[in-house]
A and B are shown apart, each in its own frame.
Chain A
Amino acid sequence: MEIGIGAYVVLSAVLFTLGALGVMLRRNAIIVFMSVELMLNAANLAFVAFARQFNDVNGHLFVFFVITVAAAEVGIGLALIVAIFRTKKSINIDSMNQLKG
């Protein structure tokens, strides 16, 4: 049985929604960040599926760039989470309440 483009797009939409829910519901900064990565990869899946459909190389190319950008984000994200853990001894988002008003 051939798995059509529709299945991939639906899967990517499901992954994207799961990621978005993760960002909004979870409180651990690392889990939130992993959910963002899941959203980026959902978009990657969509790009690759569409690129295959159109038989076009641009979608694949886009994914290369998204992967590198995501890696840079991981670098910064981990460093920031380490920094916040050093100062607050917690990476729970609710503990980040010093700035408000």
Chain B
Amino acid sequence: MVALSEFAPIGAMLLLAIVVGLLLLFISRILGPNKPTERKSAPYESGMKPIGPGTRRLPVRFYLIAVLFILFDIEVIFFLPWAVVFRKLGLFALVEMFIFIIILLVGYFYAWRKGALEWE
């Protein structure tokens, strides 16, 4: 039988997430200007029209963003096994991971410099 108290951190995390979320909504309601238009109050679907046929052509730029996203997103998978053995390997693992991240960053700046992140 697993003691319920073992789930306490998860419960605290949940509570914190809910509170922070509500707080952010509340603050923006008070501080932000509120001028609703028809477009603004429509359901948000990543900038696309929410109503219409499901199969339509997307601008090809989405593909470029998708490709870049996949590449940088998947690299995070290597952090997982690294995190597991990090304590065992110590400084060596830290240095190796820094090299890994620097190489990734160079790629990122290259994409940036090449204008791959510009929308127009």
Contacts and interface: CB of A to CB of B under 8 A. Distances in A.
A14 interface: no
A68 B81 contact: no
A71 B63 contact: no
Bin chain A's interface residue count. Answer: 10 to 19
Contacts, number: 32
A78 B77 contact: no
Interface size class of chain B, counting residues whose CB lies under 8 Å from the partner chain: 10 to 19
Given A61-B81, A64-B81, A75 B75 contact: no
Interface in B17-72: 60, 63-64, 66-68, 70-71
A78 B78 contact: no
Nearest to B73: A71
Interface of A: 60-61, 64, 67-68, 71-72, 74-75, 78-79, 82, 86
Interface of B: 60, 63-64, 66-68, 70-71, 73-75, 77-78, 80-81
17 contacts: A60-B81, A61-B81, A64-B77, A64-B81, A67-B77, A68-B74, A68-B77, A71-B73, A71-B74, A72-B71, A74-B67, A74-B70, A75-B67, A78-B67, A79-B63, A82-B60, A82-B63
